């Protein structure tokens, strides 16, 4: 199978690309840091900025020179911006939406005509547990992933007559968070009225990522999707606790659910326990 993959330079995208290659697929992987060439394991590496129409077009043209078809598109590119809803700027929201949501739209618009002409194809879109519930100080990422969830349902319904399968992969916390894709809103500083809660919340987020699930298992789960005759509409890859959080989000009254999540992320003492820093990394 010929698989195009976005966000393949680090994090979950890199682990997924490697798993797909181990499974025997031809993997054409794109990322902004790639300059072209072939990795030691045989992955083709092409430059790709999913926020640029020109870059997406150039990637597609280069990929088609490697192979004349695309059987599957796996979309992993994404960034994170941590900050309060009040103080995260419109431009910071735009930056996350442009990568995490509109980047997928651009790539889908590029490959759908190719898949329709071929009589079918597969599209795997990385959403997140945050596409199903919100947590404090991740509003930009959460909004983008909620957009992906709704958009993918529309895409599933529209492309079915053309034999195109669309699957949402919903990861929980995994041990591969890439610091260069994690940003912090410029306004977050000790002068912020949210600062103490922000320090607590981001300390918990960082701790949960560092102690999350094995990213290789996520990559292998995506590789198994490619071997199925029919992909599911969703594939949730998360710990039991995070799956439970989603179930409770759907079952409990909003006020009670918010109280539980706030207590988990913002309880006093957590910042010190998890080693919060006065100056967060990655701005």
Residue 177 lies in a domain: yes
3-state secondary structure of 30: strand
Q: Is residue 262 part of a domain?
A: no
**Known active-site residue 239:** no
Name the pairing type of β-strands 37-38 and 44-47.
Answer: antiparallel
In the chain, beta strands by DSSP E: 2-6, 26-31, 37-38, 44-47, 72-75, 80-82, 121-126, 164-171, 182-184, 234-237
More confident residue, 270 or 233: 233
Please tell me which residue in 29, 93, 145, 265 is annotated as part of the active site.
145
Share of the chain above pLDDT 90, in %: 84
- The pLDDT score that the predictor gives to residue 181 is 64
Whether the pLDDT of residue 124 is over 60: the answer is: yes
pLDDT value of position 274: 72
- Out of 93, 141, 265, 274, which one is annotated catalytic? 141
Range with the lowest mean pLDDT among 117-131, 151-165, 260-274? Answer: 260-274
Q: Is residue 281 part of a domain?
A: no
Q: Tens digits of per-residue pLDDT, 155-196? A: 999 999 999 999 999 999 988 755 556 789 999 999 999 999
The mean pLDDT value of the chain amounts to 92
Output the pLDDT for position 276.
Answer: 61
Helix, strand, or coil (residue 52): coil
What total of structural domains would you count in the chain? 1
Q: With respect to residue 151, please indicate whether it lies within any of the assigned structural domains.
A: yes
| Residue at token pair 């909620």 | 146
Whether the CB-CB separation of 91 and 138 falls below 8 Å is answered with no
User: Using an 8 Å Cβ cutoff, are 156 and 226 in contact?
Assistant: no
CATH number, residue 225: 3.40.50.720
Given 29, 84, 127, 176, which residue is catalytic? Answer: 127
Give the pair of three-digit tokens for residue 163. 């034999």
- Euclidean distance between CA atoms 141 and 80, whole angstroms: 6
Q: What is the mean pLDDT of residues 123-129?
A: 96
User: 196-241: per-residue pLDDT in tens?
Assistant: 999 999 999 999 988 888 899 999 999 999 999 999 999 999 989 9
Answer whether residue 123 is part of any domain. yes
Please identify which residue in the block is written with the tokens 């590496």.
45
Distance CA 143, CA 148 (A): 9
For the entire predicted model, the pTM comes to 0.91
Is residue 209 included in any domain, yes or no?
Answer: no
- Specify whether 265 is catalytic: no
Task: Let me know if 10 is a catalytic residue.
Answer: no
Range of the domain at 18: 2-196+214-240
For position 203, what pLDDT does the model report?
92
Contacts (Cβ under 8 Å, ≥6 apart) of 144? 78, 96, 97, 99, 100, 101
The answer as to whether 252 is a domain residue is: no
Residue 280 falls within a domain, yes or no? no
Phi (first) and psi of residue 169, to 5 degrees: -100, 125
Give the per-residue pLDDT at 213. Answer: 87
Active site residue 9: yes
Q: Residue 283 — very low, low, confident or very high, per pLDDT cuts 50/70/90? A: very low
């Amino acid at each position: 199978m010929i698989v195009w993959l976005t966000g393949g330079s680090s994090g979950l995208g890199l682990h997924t690309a490697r798993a797909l290659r181990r499974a025997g697929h031809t993997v054409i992987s794109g990322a902004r840091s790639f300059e072209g060439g072939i990795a030691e394991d045989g992955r083709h590496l092409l430059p790709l900025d999913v926020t640029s129409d020109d870059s997406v077009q150039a990637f597609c043209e280069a990929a088609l020179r490697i192979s004349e078809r695309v059987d599957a598109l796996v979309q992993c590119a994404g960034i994170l911006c941590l900050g309060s809803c009040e103080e995260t700027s419109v431009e910071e929201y735009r930056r996350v939406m442009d990568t995490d949501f509109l980047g997928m739209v651009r790539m889908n618009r590029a490959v759908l005509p190719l898949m329709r002409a071929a009589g079918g194809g597969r599209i795997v879109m990385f959403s997140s547990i945050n596409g199903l519930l919100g947590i404090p100080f991740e509003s930009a990422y959460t909004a983008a992933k909620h957009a992906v969830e709704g958009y993918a349902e529309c895409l599933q319904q529209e492309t079915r007559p053309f034999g195109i399968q669309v699957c949402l992969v919903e990861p929980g916390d995994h041990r591969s968070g890439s610091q260069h894709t994690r940003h912090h809103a410029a306004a977050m500083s000790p002068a912020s009225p949210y600062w103490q809660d922000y320090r607590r919340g981001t300390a918990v987020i960082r701790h949960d990522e560092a102690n999350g699930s094995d990213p290789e298992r996520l990559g292998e789960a995506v590789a198994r999707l490619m071997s199925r005759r029919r992909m599911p509409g969703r594939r949730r890859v998360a710990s039991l606790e995070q799956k439970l959080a989603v179930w409770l989000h759907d079952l409990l009254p909003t006020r009670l659910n918010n109280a539980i999540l706030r207590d988990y992320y913002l309880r006093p003492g957590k910042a010190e326990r998890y080693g919060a820093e006065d100056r967060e990394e990655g701005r």
